[in-house]
Amino acid sequence: MSAEPIATFESSLDEVGVELVRTTADEFASTLSPLLDAPTVGTSLPFETVSLPDSVETDPSIADLEAAATGVTAAGYGIADYGSVIIQGGTDGEEPVSLYADEHVAVVAASDVLPDMDATFDQLAEDIRNGVGQSIIATGPSATADMGSLVTGAHGPMDVTVVLLEDK
């Protein structure tokens, strides 16, 4: 992956109010830890070189989900043009973990950042045909303007941070 889509990804994320934090496998633990406000819930990461700290509850109850300040999950892909991350929920619970906590921290590999919507749908079509049941293209925090002015954090998270793993 060349540097250009990552730069676009970063500026697109900025436009939707999402901070991008770059890291490497070696620095992952020290990068992640200040981003996790307790209590934190999470789902195990699919990357071989990194994992979540023990303080993260990876088998949460419903009460844990509702009380969580941070929910940390992997994201299947990023979309550079839009500043989106794609949450591919499955049996581990990526969907509730990314949805109920006040803040969602999404870990995405730099090599999984796709340039645009065309490339994204080619990829998602392939994934769906291979049995991926759920893909959420999430862009920025959940939001509503239904109560008279724009409020972030409607039914979902009010903050999103993307951790970019540069060397999966």
Binding site for another protein (CB under 8 A): 60-63, 65-66, 82, 84, 89-91, 93-96, 99, 117-118, 120-122, 124-125, 128-129, 132-151, 153-157
* Residue 24 CB, nearest approach to another protein (Å): 29
| Residues paired with 77 in a beta bridge | 86
Q: Which is nearer to another protein, 3 or 129 (CB)?
A: 129
* Residue 157 CB, nearest approach to another protein (Å): 8
Residue 38: exposure state from Cβ atoms within 10 A (0-12, 13-18, ≥19): exposed
Distance, first Cα to last Cα, the chain: 12
* Residue 155 CB, nearest approach to another protein (Å): 4
* Residue 75 CB, nearest approach to another protein (Å): 13
Q: Which is nearer to another protein, 1 or 132 (CB)?
A: 132
Q: Which is nearer to another protein, 102 or 166 (CB)?
A: 102
Q: Taking a C-beta distance cutoff of 8 angstroms, is the pair 157, 142 a contact?
A: yes
* Residue 100 CB, nearest approach to another protein (Å): 8
Q: Which is nearer to another protein, 48 or 146 (CB)?
A: 146
Taking CA atoms, 31 is separated from 24, 28, 115, 148, 165, in Å, by 9, 5, 25, 38, 10
Closest CA to 16 of 155, 152, 117, 163: 152
* Helix or strand run (H / E) with residue 63: helix 62-67
DSSP 33: G
Q: Find the length of the chain.
A: 168
Q: Which is nearer to another protein, 6 or 86 (CB)?
A: 86
